[in-house]
Amino acid sequence: MTQRKGSDYAGLSVAIITPLTDDRLDVQRLREQVEFQIAAGTRCIVPVGTTGESPTLSHEEHERVISEVVQIAAGRVKVMAGTGSNSTAEALRLTRWAAKEGADASLQVAPYYNKPTQEGFYQHFKAIAEDVDLPICVYNIPGRTGKNIEPETIARLAEIPNITMVKEATGSLDQCSQILNTTDLTVLSGDDSLTIPMMSIGAEGVISVAGNIVPRDMVAMVQAALDGDFAAARQWHHKLFPLCRDMLGLSTNPIPVKTAMRLLGRDAGELRLPLTPLSPQEEQKLRNTLRNYGLEC
């Protein structure tokens, strides 16, 4: 297979939560998370993405999380900092900060709410990529942002040298196929439960939510697929599927994953409004899913 631009990020990346205690960043719990992921063999840690509640962090908090994760990781694992925004100026500010602090790459979500044209998407990502010398992962998640970055636009972006990856969260294997057919970008799954279908057509890994809970199992599944052992990968997929489904389907991410971490004795702190806790019925369903998986809670 032809080497793709971002293949050094193949494997498991984990979009970590932001631990909040008394509505403030809990650095000790953040450190515990990073160490937990490194010990599990996670390839890359992704702070302050959707799972990290980036929309409700202040600029100062956002920057501090990036700095702390880079310092804790200390080169032992890659750090892809979430630095996207619906404001190009804000995305530039955050990406410059990540580069200055020593992040390895930047995760750039599609501008949300203001719903740019395809030309607007192109000019937004182009401005960031040409300003900051970091590998860029374009994050396409129309269910959150309200608009799809079309494959033709991604093909244009792929011509920019340091745009090297796409986090594909459209749920469309056709779109994934078109990106793989028309670009040399590395595609990373943005949906845990679609990781193996996407890897079967050429994606190289996942930026995972469920990896917060069972990173070793996610590593095993993704590595099996990278090794071409899709029989083993399918076994892992079917074991992981109920857990992956509930992490993203039971309620809005990161409500279920933060709840699961608390139930498993790895308290991730509270949620910040407008996110609210699971109902008692939802929490019991999540507890049952964790127990059925074989986790003690």
- Residue-wise DSSP of 51-89: TTTGGGS-HHHHHHHHHHHHHHHTTSSEEEEE---SSHH
188 CA to centre of own chain: 9
The answer to whether the beta carbons of residues 199 and 225 sit under 8 Å apart is: yes
Residue entry with tokens 């804790």? 72
The answer to whether the beta carbons of residues 225 and 125 sit under 8 Å apart is: no
The answer to whether the beta carbons of residues 221 and 236 sit under 8 Å apart is: yes
Active site (annotated) includes residue 5: no
The answer to whether the beta carbons of residues 145 and 171 sit under 8 Å apart is: no
Distance CA 153, CA 135 (A): 18
Active site (annotated) includes residue 113: no
Residue type, 48: V
Residue entry with tokens 């996670």? 42
Out of 122, 139, 147, 258, the active site residue is 139
- Residue-wise DSSP of 2-13: PPPTTGGG-EEE
CB atoms within 10 A of CB 242: 16
Distance CA 79, CA 65 (A): 11
Out of 9, 122, 147, 167, the active site residue is 167
**Residue positions annotated with a catalytic role:** 139, 167
